[in-house]
Structure formats: C-alpha cells, structure tokens
Amino acid sequence: MMRKMFFSVLFAVSLFGVDGYSVYKNHCQKCHIEMISKKETLKIFKTLQAPPMVEVANRIRENITITDDDDDVKRFVMIAFIKEYTKKPAVDYSMCHAMAIERFGVMPAQTQLSEEERQAVAEWIVDRYEESAF
C-alpha cells in the first residue's frame, strides 16, 4: 500500500520533474491535435499532419491487450510502446489505421527528446486520455 502510493506520487510528477504536457506542447502538438471529436476531425482532415493525439491514445489502448486485465501492466506496456515509437517509428509496428499511414506517412523520429522527456510525454499520453473516447 505505502509502496504503491510512493510510486504513484513519484510518477505523477515524473522521475526528473519533466512535465509531460510541456513536452507534448513543445514537440508533438504541431502535428497531433490534443483533443477533437471524430466528427470535427473528418471536417478538418485535409489540414491535419497526423492523427489527433486522442485518437492515437485510443488506438494504442484498444490494441494492447493484457490477458490478466492488469491495469498497471497495461499502462506500463503502453508507455513503453509510445517511448519506443517516438524513438524509432516504423510502418511495421505502427498501430495507426493503414489509411492514416497512407495519408500522413510514417512519423519522423523524435530524436531530440531526452529519455526523461520521452518517459514524461508517454506517461502524459496514457494518463491524459484514460477516460477520453474518440
């Protein structure tokens, strides 16, 4: 119980005090809109450079299944995937719809990020959209 609380508090501000939302705003927002409905997305689709982040998060959440239904494990795996993807995006393991890849191409690697920033933004994505459907 104590241990769990300790880790939650630690991870809430992220290990080295890097704020995931700031990383998103500085490095991701120019391509990934933070929040938008499916309906609005279709309207402005032509102007987009990438799938909205709410969609990205939902796709990943839908695609990754942990058979014993453990939420902490699922969160960990989602974060690991996002971190790895920002480092080395590849069509082979993109979870985006084929149509999105065709339209936008594969994401450019975000090599400018430090390990701490990568962790913080990945955590932010997973937690930000926990309750947000697309």
Given the structure tokens 């990205």, which residue do they identify? Answer: 56
Q: Are 11 and 104 in contact (CB under 8 A)?
A: no
Residue type, 11: F
CB of 107 to ligand HEC, least distance (A): 3
Looking at the Cβ atoms of 33 and 60, the one nearer to ligand HEC is 60
Contact map string, positions 52 to 81, toward ligand HEC, x by CB under 6 A: ----x--xx---------------------
Which of 50, 54, 79, 120 binds ligand HEC (CB under 6 A)? It is 50
Q: State how far the Cα of 114 lies from the Cα of 112, in Å rounded to an integer.
A: 7
CB of 80 to ligand HEC, least distance (A): 11
Q: Where are the alpha helices (DSSP H) in 45-131?
A: 53-63, 71-87, 98-104, 115-128
Please provide the distance, in angstroms rounded to a whole number, between the alpha carbons at the two ends of the chain.
Answer: 34
| Binding region for ligand HEC (CB under 6 A) | 27-28, 30-32, 49-51, 56, 59-60, 82, 85-86, 89, 94-96, 100-101, 104-108, 110, 113, 121
